[in-house]
């Protein structure tokens, strides 16, 4: 396993342990730093239990994942989540029954369809959301800070708790657990164990040069960049990312640029019909497409930074293994 992969696991463990031990304040989660230069043994112990809030009426000061200082008074009974990832976390922590509003795009778990309040994460109807009287609103990655400020001006408490990298996922879960007065230790331990199994298997995976493609049209295609969650999963699963020089999470590139990247395989969103894609003349000069090394992946599993992200990690590794024997 290469140093970069080990560094990602170290960052994730440190974030989980740091958040799990907090009672009165949660420090800001760091953005994904440069890879460490020393190898670190994989974690073997589960994080400490996340303490519950100290009862209704007790105000705790937290730093959310946008480095914003927020105050939360007791465990909320009515929750609005504008983040698909946080919604999944809430259900995994058995707090989904407190949801009164969710992001309109959410489809998992099936219980979300019983929540009548549905709002745009980027432009919610503030008056309608306030009418639901949420004790707290979890803002999503798609929620602009100016919208969060408007929600707060309307009297609602807003917390950003959606991870922007794999290293933040455990921290996000621990933060949501602390706010809701639930315990995330078992969930985090389960996820870490699943990730460690993939990590151990990665040593036996040939590092295929891989590119994740989210969409395409006549102008070019949208691929995952170095800041994306899916690229971290590819590296952790034992693959080699060919788009690491693209700084953003997503970038639109030409077909010529894709050809020059020369990936061994293409991992594509399940929104793409692979058979149709392979017949498109735009991919005629792409070696991976010519060799039939194009594989569909459940985009929700590999792009939503919630409890199912380790399922996405295993999916990526299984796909790499399938490509090696094809």
pLDDT in tens, 176-212: 999 999 999 999 999 999 999 999 999 888 899 999 9
CA distance 51 to 36: 30
Structure tokens at 190: 């389960």
- Topology of domain 3-196, CATH: Rossmann fold (3.40.50)
Q: What is the pLDDT of residues 230-288, one digit of tens each?
A: 999 999 999 999 999 999 999 999 999 999 999 999 999 999 999 999 999 999 999 99
Separation of CA 299 from chain center: 11
Mean pLDDT along residues 295-321: 96
Q: What is the rounded average pLDDT of the residues 107-121?
A: 95
Predicted structure pTM score = 0.82
Tell me the Cα Rg of the chain.
Answer: 20
Spatial separation of the C-alpha atoms in residues 279 and 276, rounded to whole Å: 5
Return the CATH number of the domain spanning residue range 205-325. Answer: 3.40.50.1980
pLDDT in tens, 31-82: 333 333 333 333 333 333 334 443 445 788 999 999 999 999 889 999 999 9
pLDDT digits (tens, 9 = 90+) for 17-36: 444 444 333 333 333 333 33
Residues of the chain with CATH 3.40.50.1980: 3-196, 205-325
Strands 209-216 and 158-160: unpaired
């Amino acid at each position: 396993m290469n140093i970069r992969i080990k560094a990602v696991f170290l960052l994730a463990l440190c974030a989980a342990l740091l958040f799990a031990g907090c009672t009165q304040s949660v420090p800001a989660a760091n953005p994904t730093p440069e890879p460490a230069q020393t190898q670190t043994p994989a974690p073997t112990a589960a994080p400490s239990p996340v303490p519950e809030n100290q009862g209704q009426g007790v105000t705790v000061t937290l730093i959310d994942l946008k480095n914003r200082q927020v105050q939360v008074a007791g465990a909320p009974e009515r929750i609005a989540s504008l983040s698909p990832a946080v919604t999944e976390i809430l259900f995994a922590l058995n707090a989904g029954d407190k949801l009164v509003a969710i992001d309109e795009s959410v489809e998992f778990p099936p219980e979300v369809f019983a929540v009548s309040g549905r709002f745009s994460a980027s432009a919610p109807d503030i008056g309608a959301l306030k009418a639901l009287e949420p004790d707290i609103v979890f803002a999503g990655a798609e929620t602009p800070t100016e919208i969060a400020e408007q929600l707060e001006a309307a009297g609602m408490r807003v917390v950003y708790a959606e991870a922007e990298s794999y290293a933040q996922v455990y921290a996000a879960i621990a933060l949501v657990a602390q706010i809701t007065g639930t315990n995330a230790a078992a969930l985090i331990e389960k996820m870490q164990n699943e990730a460690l199994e993939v990590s151990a298997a990665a040593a036996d995976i040939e590092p295929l040069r891989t590119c994740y493609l989210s969409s395409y049209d006549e102008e070019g295609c949208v691929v995952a960049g170095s800041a994306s969650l899916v690229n971290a999963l590819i590296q952790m699963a034992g693959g080699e990312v060919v788009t690491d020089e693209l700084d953003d999470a997503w970038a639109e590139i030409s077909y010529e640029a894709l050809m020059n990247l020369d990936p061994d395989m293409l991992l594509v969103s399940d929104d793409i019909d692979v058979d149709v894609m392979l017949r498109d003349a735009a991919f005629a000069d792409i070696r991976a497409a010519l060799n039939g090394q194009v594989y569909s992946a459940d985009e929700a599993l590999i792009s939503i930074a919630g409890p199912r992200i380790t399922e996405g990690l295993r999916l990526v590794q299984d796909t790499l293994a399938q490509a090696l024997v094809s």
